[in-house]
């Protein structure tokens, strides 16, 4: 005996598909928000590129004062200017600074002998005068520097004589340059124990060119 066959009609039968989970909806919502945020960020960057605001900020960050020539050595702590040096600047008054290299006749050089060799300051002063320099005082070095310059020469100047010090220092190989607080543009050349002779004019010109040659990295466009 065959059993009765039944057929299900209508839509009241149970669904076989898995109902959607709430977590999937949350993840979809988060993904949509992230996509909108990325689109908005890209739009802001495009606006900055086309309006030039990004390039302006970069140019401001890279801006820096241009250096002129080769910087001279900083003054040594406790160092004293040579005798005959210019008067120090008044307290609180900024001293004028000049790094431009002048002509020899515009530089007044005081020549001092810090060695035990007699007549060395006078001979050196004559050579400087023959090269166009204006010679000031000539004599023995003060006690603070006498027998205390182991190199060839020590060149001393104030802020106003930095360019002149560069020119004077280029006349002797191995010269060292220091600064004091004198207000004028005079330059002191103190002869040391290692001094033998000045460079010839051609060598001195080459040494000056090397001293004032700017750094290659300072003029590279697009870099800080």
Q: Note whether residue 82 is domain-resident.
A: no
Residues 128, 183 within the same domain: yes
- The secondary structure of 1-50, three-state, reads CCCCCCCCCCCCCCCCCCCCCHHHHHHHHHHHHHHHHHHHHHHHHHHHHH
Residues 56, 146 within the same domain: no
Whole-number Å distance between alpha carbons of 224 and 206: 30
Pairing of strands 153-157, 187-191: antiparallel
Q: Note whether residue 224 is domain-resident.
A: no
pLDDT tens-place values along the chain, 224 residues long: 555 665 656 555 555 555 556 667 777 778 777 777 777 776 666 556 555 555 554 445 444 444 344 444 444 444 444 544 444 444 555 557 889 999 999 999 999 999 999 999 999 999 999 999 999 999 999 999 999 999 999 999 999 999 999 999 999 999 999 999 999 999 999 999 999 999 999 999 999 999 998 866 555 555 55
- What total of structural domains would you count in the chain? 2
Q: Note whether residue 80 is domain-resident.
A: no
Residues 111, 178 within the same domain: yes
Order of all β-strands in the sheet with 134-140:
134-140, 108-113, 187-191, 153-157, 176-179
**Cβ atoms within 10 Å, residue 25:** 10
Q: Note whether residue 137 is domain-resident.
A: yes
Write down the pTM of the prediction: 0.58
> Which residues constitute the domain of residue 153?
104-213
Q: Note whether residue 182 is domain-resident.
A: yes
């Amino acid at each position: 005996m065959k059993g009765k066959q039944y057929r299900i009609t209508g839509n009241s039968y149970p669904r076989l598909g898995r109902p959607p989970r709430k977590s999937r909806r949350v993840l979809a919502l988060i993904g949509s928000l992230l996509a909108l945020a990325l689109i908005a960020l890209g739009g802001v960057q495009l606006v900055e590129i086309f309006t030039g605001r990004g390039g302006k900020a970069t140019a401001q960050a890279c801006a820096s004062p241009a250096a002129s020539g080769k910087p001279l050595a900083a003054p040594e702590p406790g160092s004293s200017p040579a005798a005959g040096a210019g008067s120090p600047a008044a307290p609180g008054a900024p001293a004028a600074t000049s790094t431009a290299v002048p002509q020899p006749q515009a530089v007044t050089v005081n020549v001092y002998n810090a060695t035990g060799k007699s007549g060395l300051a006078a001979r050196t002063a004559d050579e400087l005068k023959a090269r166009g320099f204006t010679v000031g005082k000539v004599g023995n070095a003060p006690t603070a520097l006498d027998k205390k310059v182991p190199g060839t020469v020590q060149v001393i100047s104030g802020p106003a004589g930095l360019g002149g010090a560069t020119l004077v220092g280029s006349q002797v190989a191995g010269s060292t340059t220091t600064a004091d607080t004198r207000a004028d543009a005079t330059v002191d050349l103190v002869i040391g124990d290692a001094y033998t002779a000045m460079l010839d004019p051609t060598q001195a010109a080459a040494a000056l060119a090397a001293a004032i040659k700017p750094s290659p990295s300072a003029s590279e466009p697009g870099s800080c």
